[in-house]
Chains A and B, each alone.
Chain A
Amino acid sequence: MSVNYSPVLWNKQKKLYDLILWIGILFMAVTFIIFQVLFHKDITLQTLIIRTTAIIAFFLLHIILIIGPLCRIDKRFLPLLYNRRHLGVSMFLVALIHGGMAIVQFHTLGDTNPIASIFTANSNYLAISDFPFQVLGFLALIILFLMAITSHDFWLKNLSPAIWKGLHMCVYLAYTLIVIHVATGALQYEDNPIYWTLLVLGVITITGLHLYTGIIETRKLSLPHTLEKEGYYKVCSLEEIDDQCGKSVFINGENIAIFKYDGNVSAVHNVCKHQMGPIGEGKIIDGCITCPWHGYQYLPDNGQSPPPFNEKLKTYRTSVLDGSIWVHPLPLEEGSFIEPTKIPQS
């Protein structure tokens, strides 16, 4: 968390993350180039650059897209998510080399503006196998560019989390465009079935993991909470929540995070103000609810970030009765103080 904007707030974790990331990128580039030179000595430098960057960027995009579901399946993957935007920006830079080199190679020094040429050289837009695949790659690159330049928290704050999140969810559109770009481009030339196999495996992995975690999440959140007294709904027993930890529930359209800490129970809105992370999967650290995604913090009794920060969450009334936690799904205004419910000493 930071009050002021800095290009990157470096810390030990981020430095290690980026170090491993770029060693990985260079390792992939070196192995790919070595195999190309060994098995295809007639390859040109331009083709080598285009293909190397294509493989690395597409591989990185797959890693980026599986991080979310992996973290839902096992929280120990969360460090991968913490610095994911560095991964995204790195992937964009590699993709930019690929796209830039392809435009220079295939569209410059001709009788048409290179950008116009991308859209007009091959105009078989109604075809499938003959579709102008470079257009799809170009559009995907534009999306990745917009994501990369708005990746900083400055833009998150100024665009609002909802718009920022919406823009960055376009990564799935970019991925779809790139999959079709590959299918209608390289795979129309290369006829070894291994390429189709790899492409389909990638798509199945991404969609499969998202569907699996989506179903699990939906089941968790849609557990019926029907036992109601005076507007309060019974959500779980006290034992179901570890001390200093939380639980996410969905009642009457409200996404609520309930926390048990220091003999108290409090409830706040389950969506982090930073990047809409699942607050309920966080933990109480130094007396504050700490979001599992990027460590944003809120006080459990009023949903406010501790000074000097000014993020605020809606709060909910809670109750403890016969060893069970109850919550009232009618939210109070963001930052409203609610006296924590004391857990009776047994």
Chain B
Amino acid sequence: MNKENSFFVGWKDDMPKANRSLLIKFIVVLFISIPLLTFLIVKSQKPFNNHIFEFGNVKEFTGIYHADPVPILEVTDNKIPEGFSNYVLLVGFGKFGAEGIISNIEKSSGPLNGLKVTLQGTLIYGDGRYLMELTKKEDSLIKIFDEPTVANTHLYDRKKDGYSGEILDPKCYFGVMKPGEGKIHKSCAIRCISGGIPPVFRANIENGQYEYFLLLGPNGEKINKAILNDVAELVTIDGETSIINGWPVLYANPSDIIRINKKSYYAQD
């Protein structure tokens, strides 16, 4: 290298030819490597699910409101497409459950449990399940119908069962976030479940098929705070299963949630 010809002084207008020649090569190599690198990174990514969050699009649904064990609207106006359950899980705005909003609505309207109502909100859906965010908060209630009410939730017998899978916050998983699962989403899922969004256990049934269970304590109580540490982790849960208001439910003691590693999880697949 000829030092005479390659000494660069930044405050001078001209760059020595030797520097310019090397730097052009360096920049060309960088510009060639950028698309190759981005292609490699993107192509190697895990695919995203096709779940949808209809952000900015508020819709109205009419049906029977069920308060227990978690807020659900049993849609009766045939607006739910085929292949999806018409039991729509209600969630609040942001990282909160719907109970706070419903509670505020009930202060003026009276108890809603079992009543036919029209609610407005933003739809979240995927893999056969619908959720509705009560985006308009206390203005989410459009109408209460003066019709005979359904007093009881639909209950089925419990049976002992156990699955492996992941505890998710359903709002993000079913469409608000991509991905709404796994380690990178863990903090958000903890915030959502801590804020009252019902935890959902995505059980690995077989051949990549999932069943989604609302996760409750042994007596049907909420266990949101007790399971935060195991959210977004691969776990096995032994408990009792049933179906309430169209949603499978897994009743389990938080102490029966056991962490497993990826190897044993996929071995069970």
Is the pairing of A and B real? yes
**Range, interface on chain A:** 35 or more
Residue of A nearest to B53 (CB): A44
**B191 adjacent to A130 (CB under 8 Å):** no
Q: Which residue of B lies closest to A124 (CB)?
A: B229
A217-271 contacts to B (CB < 8 Å): 242, 245
Do B41 and A55 touch across chains, with their CB atoms under 8 A apart? yes
Interface residues of B in 28-47 (CB under 8 A from A): 30-31, 34-35, 37-47
Bound-state Cα–Cα, A292 to B6, Å: 11
B147-191: contact bitstring with A at CB < 8 Å (1 yes, 0 no)?
Answer: 000000000000000000000000000000111001111111011
Report yes or no: A105 in contact with B184, Cβ–Cβ below 8 A: no
**Given contacts A11-B10, A76-B19, A118 and B187 within 8 Å (CB-CB):** yes
State whether A110 touches B13 (Cβ < 8 A).
no
Q: Is the CB of A42 within 8 A of B187?
A: no
Chain A residues near B177: list those with CB within 8 A.
44, 46-47, 105
A59 and B44 CA atoms in complex are apart in Å by 17
A24 adjacent to B31 (CB under 8 Å)? yes
Chain A minimum-CB-distance residue to B183: A188
Task: Enumerate chain A residues within 8 angstroms of B43, measured Cβ to Cβ.
Answer: 35, 39
Chain A 101-145 interface 0/1 with B at a Cβ cutoff of 8 Å (1 = within): 000011111111000011001111000011011100000000000
Q: How many residues of B contact A (CB 8 A)?
A: 63
Determine how close the nearest CB of chain A comes to the CB of B36; give it in whole angstroms.
9
B247 CB-CB contact with A under 8 Å: no
Residues of B within 8 Å of A124, CB to CB, are 229
1/0 contact string of B39-76 vs chain A (CB within 8 Å): 11111111111110100000000000000000000000
Selected from B9, B15, B184, the residue in CB contact (under 8 A) with A290 is: B9
Taking each of B11, B13, B48, which has the highest tally of chain A beta carbons within 10 Å of its own beta carbon? B11
Indicate the member of B3, B38, B51, B185 with the most A CB atoms within 10 Å: B38
Q: Which of A9, A110, A186 has the most CB of B within 10 A?
A: A110
- In angstroms, Cα B95 to Cα A28, docked, is 33
B23 within 8 A of A: yes
Contact in complex: B39, A35 (CB < 8 Å): yes
Q: How far is the CA of A132 from the CA of B95 in the complex (A)?
A: 19
Query: Could you say which residues of chain A place their CB within 8 Å of the CB of B95?
Result: 109-111
Q: For window 44-86 of chain A, which residues contact chain B by CB distance below 8 Å? A: 44, 46-47, 55, 59, 63, 74-80, 82-83
User: Are B10 and A245 in touch, CB under 8 angstroms?
Assistant: no
CB of B190 within 8 A of CB of A189, answer no
Query: In this assembly, does A198 line the interface, its C-beta being within 8 Å of a C-beta of chain B?
Result: yes
Subset of 14 A-B contacts with CB under 8 Å: A27-B31, A46-B177, A77-B22, A77-B23, A79-B19, A83-B10, A109-B94, A122-B187, A130-B183, A132-B187, A191-B262, A290-B7, A295-B11, A295-B12
Taking A42-B51, A44-B53, A47-B178 as given, write out 13 further A-B residue pairs in contact, using a Cβ cutoff of 8 Å, ordered by the A residue number.
Answer: A24-B27, A31-B38, A40-B42, A42-B178, A76-B8, A76-B18, A79-B23, A107-B187, A121-B191, A192-B44, A195-B41, A198-B37, A295-B9
- Give the 3 A-B residue pairs with the shortest CB-CB distance, closest first: A109-B94, A110-B95, A82-B10
